[in-house]
Copies of this chain bind each other. A is one copy, B any other.
Amino acid sequence: MQQAGVEARSERAAEASETKRMIMTVAAKLFAERGYDGVGISEVGEATGFGKGALYYHIKSKEDLLFDIMTIYMMDLIAAARGIAESDLPAAARLSALSSNFMSIMFASRAEMTVCFREVHALSEARQKGVLRLHSEYLEIWDRIFRDGAASGEFRPMTRLEIKALLGMFFYSFLWVKTEGSIRVEAIAGMFADLTRRAVRSDRA
């Protein structure tokens, strides 16, 4: 159980009380396992130890809960990526850093990320747009690095479609990637970055 009496202070819209964070984490895990529509609210209640009444004291609706999970974790991802993209390292180094960052967040918040990319259809149309905009904000960050790389001659010029395709390789990864035994997160991130670098490096021999 949770004695969250300390949380009385009013939070900024984007922030969430500790109790709500806990609910989001538990719900994300459930949603990732059996799908948003496959998990009932009372099940979320059981898993969090709350009755429905208490649950609805913390969340506005089931859909809001999903939406909040998606936006918060996408915003985390975007914020971290922006920091990397704005550094003045060479494009290839920033690409590696982006890959590492993606993979470490992915492993740390796998359920949330899965939900983020797999359950968009469960949202109302307006909210779908909101989440999709976050996705393309993230794409924009990668795009910028590829453009910088092309400008400096490190990379060949890439079309938008090519960048989307490559990013898809990352986005699909949380459906299957495991840290199997000795394979560490950094090794996987390195592999993805290497694959990407090979696909985009300039042709000049």
- The one of B38, B175, B195 in contact with A199, judged by C-beta atoms closer than 8 angstroms, is B195
Residue from the list B38, B165, B171, B200 in contact with A121, Cβ < 8 A: B38
Given contacts A35-B36, A37-B37, A198-B199, 14 further A-B contacts (CB under 8 A): A35-B122, A118-B118, A159-B191, A161-B183, A161-B188, A161-B191, A165-B169, A165-B173, A165-B195, A168-B173, A168-B176, A171-B172, A198-B198, A198-B200
CB proximity of A69 to chain B, nearest CB, Å: 16
A205 to B121, CA, bound (A): 46
8 A Cβ contacts from A164-205 to B: 164-166, 168-169, 171-173, 175-177, 183, 188, 191-192, 195-196, 198-201, 205
A162 at the interface (CB under 8 A from B): yes
**Chain A interface, number of residues (Cβ within 8 angstroms):** 36
- Cβ-based interface call for A33 (8 A): yes
A12 beta carbon closer than 8 Å to chain B: no
Any B CB within 8 A of the CB of A34: yes
Q: Is the CB of B199 within 8 A of A121?
A: no
B34 touches A35 (CB 8 A): no
Query: With A and B bound together, what is the CA distance between A189 and B148 in angstroms?
Result: 26
Work out how many copies of this chain go into the complex. 2
Most B CB within 10 A of own CB, among A33, A122, A176? A176
User: How far, in Å, is A79 (CB) from chain B's closest CB?
Assistant: 23
**CB-CB under 8 A for A168 and B168, given A33-B121, A121-B38, A122-B38:** yes
Chain B residues with Cβ below 8 Å from A36 are: 35, 37
A157 to chain B, nearest CB (A): 13
Q: Tell me which of B38, B195, B205 contacts A162 (CB under 8 A).
A: B195
Residue numbers in B under 8 Å from A171 (CB-CB): 168, 172
Q: Beta-carbon contacts of A59-103 to B below 8 Å, as 1s and 0s?
A: 000000000000000000000000000000000000000000000
The distance in angstroms between the C-alpha atoms of A191 and B161, with both chains bound, is: 9
Contacts of A192 in B (CB 8 A): 165
